[in-house]
Structure 1
Amino acid sequence: MTIDAVHLTKQYRDVRAVDDVTLCVAPGEVHALLGLNGAGKTTTIRMLLGLLRPTRGEVSLFGERVGPGRNPVWARVGYLVETPSAYPELTVTENLQVMARLRGLRDENAVIDVIARLGLQPHAHHRAQTLSLGNKQRLALAKALLHRPELLILDEPANGLDPAGVAEIRNLLHDLAHDGVTILLSSHILTEVARLATRIGVLDHGRLVWEGATTDLVTQARPRLRVTVHDPGRATAALRAAGHAVSAEDGGLALTGDRAIHHPEEVATQLVNAGCPPTRLALEQDDLETCFLRLVSRS
């Protein structure tokens, strides 16, 4: 496994920020940690990178246990955690040159290449303090990618980017994954994650409440037949008498049984016969955000 984290726990006095999280990420995988603000995503990532010592549990990257001190494994890892940082008085190019020296890179074209890859050419000679939040985020990503890592660990990589920038970063990460780079990212933007990640873990109050393939999350979307009538009470009684499970939902009625979903014309006929014809009848399905919120509410 590229990432193997077992029983990670982080306790701050009376607050358990991360609670017994076990996480495995295979080579070449794009794994996303989803969660609301305060769910424990950043704390988990900081422990994976050795920036925080776990209260309990351990982390291995590429089979090497992460701990205090120097470790050659970091030459294979690029990361972005929380707020992007840079030397404010130095230009974009100078910031990357400093990082290249710290990384011991000998490739003189590495800085030029990563500036082009992140679309930073127009800002290459601008001081970091003058950059917009989105371009500061691009610079931070450039620093993470400078040494061509095998593993990228990114905390909210689309933070501060406009929709076009979000799409650019998504395409960049997609290309990196296609080239065999393993990616672990955190986000609260479900739609973007679903378009990129192969696996998703949902964190809530420090606990991993669900993990699986992205396609498995999609299959949790519940279909239902939505019905609007002038007399909901009478319609509910008629439908229940016909054997349907009915609930009130957003000013209408919702039927989730297979018979109603596969035979909506039968429901319409039953309502007409009961003297309360539907004014609207439509098959709907939960979106991914609803599935995500349902998983969180269960915990």
Structure 2
Amino acid sequence: MAQIDDLPPLRDVISTHGLNAKKSLGQNFLLDLNLTSRIARSAGDLRDCTVLEIGPGPGGLTRALLAAGAKKVVAIEKDSRCLPALAEISEHYPGRLDVIEGDALQLDPVVLTGGDKVRIAANLPYNVGTQLLLNWITTPDWPPFWSSLTLMFQKEVGERITAVPGSKAYGRLGVLAGWRCKGGILFDISPKAFTPPPKVTSAVVHLTPNDTPVPCDLASLEKVTAAAFGQRRKMLRASLKSLTSNAEDLIRQAGLEPTSRAEEIDIAGFAALANAFKVA
């Protein structure tokens, strides 16, 4: 294991502070500092950036981000048991780590970070990871306050985020992420790297904003993708009936075939559907 600073090994930190991972908080602590350093490097040049981290736990990735030169790390931690361990990191890197106790779903990241030159890097808790991603990629303001996302998910979720039309994993999440972002899966992480080991492989996903997504109304895009993939095995003329009684006309206005299925429609096609639905 790499030695990135003079702080105690993470296993000792967990033992000292009694930080047994809680399933209710979606906690699986990544202890391999080689891997946390790799994630930090994948986030890009951090020397002039504020990095937002969600769920730092005992601080493995936090330490890697700071050792990689992050100008400032703002870490949101819901579990108060982790605060003393994070305070020790803050003392080691004076003035560069702000720890916020709270629920990341309830806090405004722009207010916390200042919204300037922000990168988000996190081993996201499994139980809130997808919702946090959706919050960040469906913000009304675009380009967003963040310049990149370097996030760990269950591999299955990572595949859904980066899926392309025609693939089994392609769905609403892939459309929304692909519409507004560019990127993909960087590498997988074995369950053995975590304490406790999860039952699934994890994947690190890196995304950057697409500065010029296909013009369409976000709310309409969310509605048509939810309806289309809610009955993905059906043709669009059937799955979109929940939105309008004139589903076939809507689909043809978008330049698509009513007999197509959701998994066959690319992002531009869904944007056209959203635009047709908005004016219908």
TM-score (norm 2): 0.32
Rg comparison, structure with higher value: 1
